[in-house]
Amino acid sequence: MADEQLNRGLEGVVLAETRLSSIDGEAGELTIGGFSVGELASNATYEESVFLLLHDRLPTADELASFREELAANRANTPEVTAVLERAAREERSAMDALRMGVAAANLGFEGGADTDALLKRVVAVFPTIVAAYWRFREGNDPLAPRDDLGHAANYLHMLTGEEPTDDAVRGLETYLNTVIDHGLNASTFAARVVVSTESDLVSAATAGVGTLKGPLHGGAPGPVLEMLMAVHESGDPEGYIQEKFDAGERLMGFGHRVYKVRDPRAEVLETAAKRFYAGNDESAFFETVESFEELAVEKLAEHKPGRRLDTNVEFYTAALLHGVGIPQDLFAATFAVSRVGGWMAHCKEQLADNRLIRPRARYVGETGRQWVPVGER
């Protein structure tokens, strides 16, 4: 036992085969369902991306229309879930706490029984409704019913704001949802697969995914990135901001990644989407700050930590794009979950197709040979 290799964080351990996504951290490449992330994210609707992950091919026009209808039919919250979300908002719980509570009850009133595919669609469909209802309560408004005539991304924006979303905002959000829908065996995806490997249900797996994504080491960085970008834009002193962070021994948010040794390919996709969105609008000057700050920050990081590659990661342009399309900062992590649930469900389906209980081992380093001492003699 003592000579067994210890892999903290399961670093480098391969425990599943997948057709869903492939990461080349050295080359900075991400493939989702056989497509480069840029090819998929800039062309697909979210519904097409989910269908691709579930079926290993893009849908026909008729299949896409049917899939959209099935998702739309599963969007509505039950009154019991709505009541929980109202209380969560009243108690000022975080959006991720509210989402966890709502998802855990997602199968209330569900009439699909043991039909895994039907429950899968329910789980994917209801995430945006839960988040939007919570936010409406937080803002002192009543939730809006989902609209069957809008696609997944457009409906989410409508339920948040009560307004008809612009085409530019929908395309920007759709690009984001497609870009982060799946990313290998990340922490939340692994958690979801562990749950279903016990032959538990998809709602439990999704709840575990939300709980894992809630942690700041996984899904919590885009909010602080936006705060950083806003501070730099308002001060007009990016170099001073960077030096202040270095002097305080703090990291620059939005740079460096556990897997990628070069620029995160998702940053490229989201930069392009953000540039398209901000072009000519009232906040174009803010986006100019974003791009110039990235260039300066990468240069200064290389000087500050020579020998380490701290390139731009997905969170940097996530913050800029989600802010632009109108997603409140407090909902950044929850919006990440709105996307990633499609990947979680596809991984769960893949796990169940050839299931083996996920059961790693731990190396015992505690005491041995202890003798029991009665409580009166301790």
Q: What residue spans of the chain are helical by DSSP H?
A: 37-41, 46-55, 61-72, 79-90, 95-104, 116-138, 152-161, 167-179, 187-197, 202-213, 222-235, 238-247, 265-278, 284-304, 314-325, 332-353
Structure tokens at 253: 């948010």
Q: Are strands 29-32 and 21-24 parallel, antiparallel or unpaired?
A: antiparallel
| C-alpha distances in Å from residue 328, one per residue of 32, 264, 315, 325, 332 | 27, 24, 15, 9, 7
How many CB atoms are closer than 10 A to CB 118? 16
- Amino acid sitting at position 53: L
DSSP conformation class of 329: G
For 185, the 3-state DSSP assignment is coil
Angle, CA of 325, 327 and 167, to the nearest 5°? 30
Q: What are the residue numbers of the active site? A: 257, 315
Q: Region of 215 please: left (phi>0), alpha (psi -120 to 50) or beta.
A: beta
Torsion of the alpha carbons at 233, 237, 239 and 245, rounded to the nearest 10:
-70
Are the C-beta atoms of residues 319 and 332 closer than 8 Å to each other? yes
